[in-house]
A = this chain, B = another copy of it.
Amino acid sequence: MIDNLDKNILNALTENARLSYAEIAKANRVSPATVHVRVEKMRKAGIITGAKLSIDPRKLGFDICCFIGIILRQAGDYPSALEKLKALPEVTEAYYTTGQYSVLIKVLVRNIDDLQKLLIERLQVIDEIQSTETLISLQTPIQRTIQAT
């Protein structure tokens, strides 16, 4: 399926997506054309889905990161609740989960006031939501990508 060269290319690019194919090629003693072919192959296979710039949300004024565990009234409420969550730009991630909560979302907001408004005026008014539990993230000490092995 994927060999060592593929893995090395993936691991190099997941660290730094703007690394040139030429440099990766040199490190792996192959030609830049080969790196190009491999990347295209993995893109077509759906292994590589894109490349995103990493930005520091705090530098853009989003000082608060938190997770909100959402408990829905009924399991069947999930699709319509999701549509309403998608409409909130502060919600950057959502996970449909088993366990404690039905949905776990990650939100970025500018300050505590914005968080409070989001919770009271835009989340808790959603009919499908029974209750929410907020976990404010004080620090993000680990942030990395899975290594291809």
Contacts and interface: CB of A to CB of B under 8 A. Distances in A.
A116 interface: no
A50 interface: yes
B93 A143 contact: yes
Contacts of A142: 82, 85-86, 91-94, 105
Interface residues of A, number: 63
Contacts of A104: 67, 135, 137
Interface in A102-149: 104-105, 108, 133-148
Given A92-B142, A96-B138, A99-B136, A48 B52 contact: no
Interface of A: 2, 10, 13-18, 45-57, 59-60, 62, 65-67, 69, 82, 85-86, 89-101, 104-105, 108, 133-148
